[in-house]
A = this chain, B = another copy of it.
């Protein structure tokens, strides 16, 4: 029995986690601020980390809320902004857990096609000007999108902000992968481009730069929105993890974050390059654009390929992938998502021929 190689999970392999850096940060957290790390604190989160994040984004601290991972930030935001029937724009494809969270709340989800330079803003404009859709929220993953790996261009970032102002909706800029660019120039966040500070709520996370198990994420948004969400957070759990946030703060303020992020980016660049090379060799019929960062490569297959059947066949051949249909608001897809974060280059060398064999087995 061959051991399954997972190209499924959006999570890093242990060898690119700075475990020693985390251990040292924990020791410093308890030494430097025992009172702050061990007490309840308040729902806005550990204050030194909040201040640091506010500084990164050049916003007032009152606009920042730390949460137990950024999914929890999403949940609070959706509790506030996505009531039953609320119209919400999403990308097609988009993160499956976002679709689930919106549907659980009864939101009316409208999917707009994702292109290689981001959401199709012309199609979105048509939808908005036709007047049939009046969204309160547009969920956008701007960098190295999950699942497609695509990045929103600067021109489209500006266009989205114009549309948000004209049609009075909030852009939810969901940006967990921003620090994982291994090629090309970084683009400004829509948060930073939004001059009035009223049309963007931004989320990010330390899952990809420290480790997922730390469960520290955050939200930056209009002050009154953050104040309402803080109230909900208080009654949900009093305060998010203070020990985990104090460890995160020490990790960031010691320079370990830069070192760790660089190591992660180097590894991801190598893995992505290897995956693209092997796919080009073994599956010449598949279409993909190798991403400039992040975890994911979106593998487009022919119209004759059923992604659900391919996913099942891949599992039988010892490679786990995610069915593209999971990321589609309407469930229709001819693509699969491959994550190069949890595997070494050597594992990629083994996995791709298995995937090619799985595809061949469908014919």
In the complex, per-residue mask of A21-39: 1 if CB is within 8 Å of any chain B CB, else 0: 0110011001100111111
Additional 7 contacts, C-beta under 8 A, given A23-B27, A213-B239, A241-B244: A22-B30, A26-B27, A38-B211, A38-B214, A39-B212, A213-B243, A215-B242
- Given A236-B72, A243-B244, A244-B244, the answer on whether A213 and B27 have CB atoms closer than 8 Å is no
Would A17 and B31 count as touching, CB distance under 8 A? no
Asked if A19 is at the interface (CB within 8 A of a chain B CB), the reply is yes
Would B38 and A71 count as touching, CB distance under 8 A? no
> Hey, which chain B residues are within 8 Å of A75, CB to CB?
235-237
- How would you classify the secondary structure of chain A's contact residues: helix, strand, loop or mixed? helix
Would A215 and B243 count as touching, CB distance under 8 A? yes
Q: List 8 A-B contacts (CB under 8 A).
A: A19-B30, A22-B38, A23-B26, A38-B212, A69-B237, A69-B239, A214-B242, A215-B239
Asked if A346 is at the interface (CB within 8 A of a chain B CB), the reply is no
Would B38 and A237 count as touching, CB distance under 8 A? no
Asked if A14 is at the interface (CB within 8 A of a chain B CB), the reply is yes
Query: A247 — nearest CB in chain B belongs to which residue?
Result: B243
Asked if A11 is at the interface (CB within 8 A of a chain B CB), the reply is yes
- Given A14-B35, A14-B38, A27-B26, the answer on whether A215 and B237 have CB atoms closer than 8 Å is yes
Q: How far is the CB of A214 from chain B (nearest CB, A)?
A: 5
Asked if A68 is at the interface (CB within 8 A of a chain B CB), the reply is yes
Copies of this protein in the complex: 2
Asked if A283 is at the interface (CB within 8 A of a chain B CB), the reply is no
Selected contact of A241 from candidates B31, B40, B68, CB within 8 Å = B68
Asked if A158 is at the interface (CB within 8 A of a chain B CB), the reply is no
Q: How far is the CB of A80 from chain B (nearest CB, A)?
A: 13
When A and B form their complex, which 6 residue pairs have the shortest distance between CB atoms, in order from nearest?
A: A213-B242, A38-B211, A26-B26, A23-B30, A40-B212, A72-B237
Asked if A225 is at the interface (CB within 8 A of a chain B CB), the reply is no
- How far does the alpha carbon of A130 sit from the alpha carbon of B211 in the complex, in Å? 55
- Given A68-B237, A247-B243, the answer on whether A213 and B23 have CB atoms closer than 8 Å is no
> Hey, which chain B residues are within 8 Å of A236, CB to CB?
71-72, 75
Asked if A41 is at the interface (CB within 8 A of a chain B CB), the reply is yes
Q: How far is the CB of A195 from chain B (nearest CB, A)?
A: 33
Pick the interface stretch among A96-104, A164-172, A269-277.
A96-104
Q: How far is the CB of A252 from chain B (nearest CB, A)?
A: 15
> Hey, which chain B residues are within 8 Å of A235, CB to CB?
75, 97, 100-101, 104
User: Which A residues, 63 to 112, have Cβ-Cβ distances below 8 Å to chain B?
Assistant: 68-69, 71-72, 75, 97, 100-101, 104
Would B26 and A39 count as touching, CB distance under 8 A? no
Asked if A324 is at the interface (CB within 8 A of a chain B CB), the reply is no
Asked if A290 is at the interface (CB within 8 A of a chain B CB), the reply is no
- Given A34-B14, A71-B238, A75-B237, the answer on whether A213 and B41 have CB atoms closer than 8 Å is yes
